[in-house]
């Protein structure tokens, strides 16, 4: 019976492959002679597109800033509720000159990175271990899944009792928050590497090391990147919360201090800087993704 059990799986897979290759066949036919002139016709107008493409994502943010400025200037929104973008920019300029802004950004950036490296590193290591070793998975996976279901921000009171408002409190929270998306996606990536490719690698005499380097790791990479981007989001979220509750420096602390003195422009400024830093982290991970996944059909530009 077990052969028959195993057959439908293989069949199901091969039919997927089949469908995929037929699609590609279809696209090849399209690029055949009768359509070529049509394609060329399109590509002649293509060079203009990239510049416009690069600007399109910024239209909405710019429009929002513009409407915001208008609303503030006309007095539709009182400046006690929301300062005008120009006021925020001015506050930013002042803080930049005093060096306070750079210092706080640097402190937050440093915390985020160190926490990310620690938590991501441990998560990646566990993901690898549990993906590659049944024993390791049996030993630790259940425990990790239980811990995962505790919202890590719920630990803040405990963390403050343990570490006070020391650096280690923030690093601990960030590391904990980052750990799970990296762990889960690394594990998932390794588990879902095509077993047929692994068999192929073994047939062609790959050692365990080669098999990992040439088949398993590249196969898990798209999933690892998904985890990375999730983790980056959680990293900023955790840091903001931790810094607003218990810190004596950093962007969150700057915002809380400003609230004490009713400096609403600084509060808005720190929120905007968080948005910017988050976007930067995301862009960096996407650039890395494009670089390492250039083989992936989703990243191939025609």
Partner 1 sequence: MQEALRFQPVDAEPVDHADIVVKARHLRRVAEGAARGLSLTIRGLRKAFGDNEVLRGIDLHIPAGQFVAIVGRSGCGKSTLLRLIAGLDAPTAGSIAFGEEPRAQDVRVMFQEPRLLPWARVLSNVEVGLGRQRSSADAQARAERALVEVGLGDKRGQWPSVLSGGQKQRVALARALVSQPRVLAFDEPLGALDALTRISMQQLLERVWRDQGFTAILVTHDVAEAVALADRVLVIEGGRIAEDVTIDLPRPRRRGSAELAALEGEILKHLLEGSEDTSDL
Note the residues at the interface with partner 1 (CB under 8 A).
1-4, 6-7, 13-14, 17-18, 21-22, 24-25, 28, 194, 196-197, 199-201, 203-206, 214-215, 218-219, 221, 293-297, 300
- Shortest spacing between CB 213 and partner 1, in angstroms: 11
Least separation in angstroms between CB 296 and partner 1? 7
Give the separation between CA 215 and CA 197, rounded to whole angstroms.
Answer: 7
Q: How far is the CB of 270 from partner 1 (least distance, A)?
A: 41
Q: Which residues contact 155 (CB under 8 A, 6 or more apart)?
A: 173, 176
- In 3D space, the residue among 181, 184, 277 whose CA is nearest the CA of residue 229 turns out to be 181
Element (H, E) at 82: none
> Is residue 238 within 8 Å of 173, Cβ to Cβ?
yes
Q: Nearer to partner 1 by C-beta: 55 or 199? A: 199
Tell me how far, at minimum, the Cβ of 25 lies from partner 1, in Å: 5
What does the alpha-carbon distance between residue 103 and residue 83 come to, in Å, rounded to a whole number?
Answer: 24
Least distance from partner 1 to the Cβ atom of residue 292, Å: 9
Closest to partner 1 by CB, 138 or 202: 202
User: Of 76 and 295, which has the nearer Cβ to partner 1?
Assistant: 295
Helices (H), 75-133: 85-98, 100-132
Whether 252 and 240 have beta carbons less than 8 Å apart is answered as yes
Place of tokens 């002679």: 33
**Minimum CB–partner distance for residue 80 and partner 1 (Å):** 56
Q: How many helices (H) and strands (E) does the chain have?
A: 13, 0
Quick one: which of 150, 219, 215, 148 has its CA closest to 186? 219
CB of 69 to partner 1, least distance (A): 47
| CB half-sphere exposure, 85, CA atoms < 13 A | 13
Residues counted in the chain: 302
């Amino acid at each position: 019976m077990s052969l028959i059990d195993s057959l439908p799986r293989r069949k199901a897979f091969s039919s997927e492959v089949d469908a995929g290759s037929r699609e590609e066949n279809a696209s090849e036919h399209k690029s055949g002679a009768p359509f070529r002139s049509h394609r060329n016709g399109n590509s002649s107008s293509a060079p203009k597109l990239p510049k416009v493409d690069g600007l399109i994502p910024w239209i909405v943010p710019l429009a929002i800033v513009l409407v915001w400025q208008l609303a503030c200037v006309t007095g539709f929104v009182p400046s006690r509720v929301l300062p005008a973008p120009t006021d925020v920019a001015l506050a930013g300029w002042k803080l930049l000159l005093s060096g306070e802004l750079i210092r706080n950004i640097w402190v937050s950036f440093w915390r985020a990175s160190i926490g990310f490296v620690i938590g991501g590193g441990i998560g990646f290591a566990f993901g690898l271990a549990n993906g590659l070793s049944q024993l390791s998975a049996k030993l630790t996976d259940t425990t990790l899944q239980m811990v995962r279901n505790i919202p890590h921000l719920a630990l803040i009171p405990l963390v403050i009792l343990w570490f006070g408002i020391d650096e280690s409190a923030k690093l601990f929270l960030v590391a904990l928050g980052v750990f799970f998306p990296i762990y889960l996606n690394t594990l998932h990536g390794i588990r879902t590497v095509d077993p047929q490719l692994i068999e192929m690698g073994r047939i062609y005499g790959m050692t365990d090391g080669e098999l990992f380097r040439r088949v398993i790791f590249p196969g898990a990479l798209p999933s690892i990147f998904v985890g990375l981007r999730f983790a980056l989001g959680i990293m900023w979220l955790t840091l903001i919360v931790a810094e607003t509750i218990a810190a004596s420096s950093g962007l969150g602390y700057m915002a809380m201090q400003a609230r004490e003195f009713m400096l609403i422009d600084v509060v808005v400024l720190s929120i905007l800087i968080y948005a910017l830093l988050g976007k930067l982290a995301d862009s960096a991970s996407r650039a890395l993704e494009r670089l390492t996944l250039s083989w992936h059909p989703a990243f191939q530009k025609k």
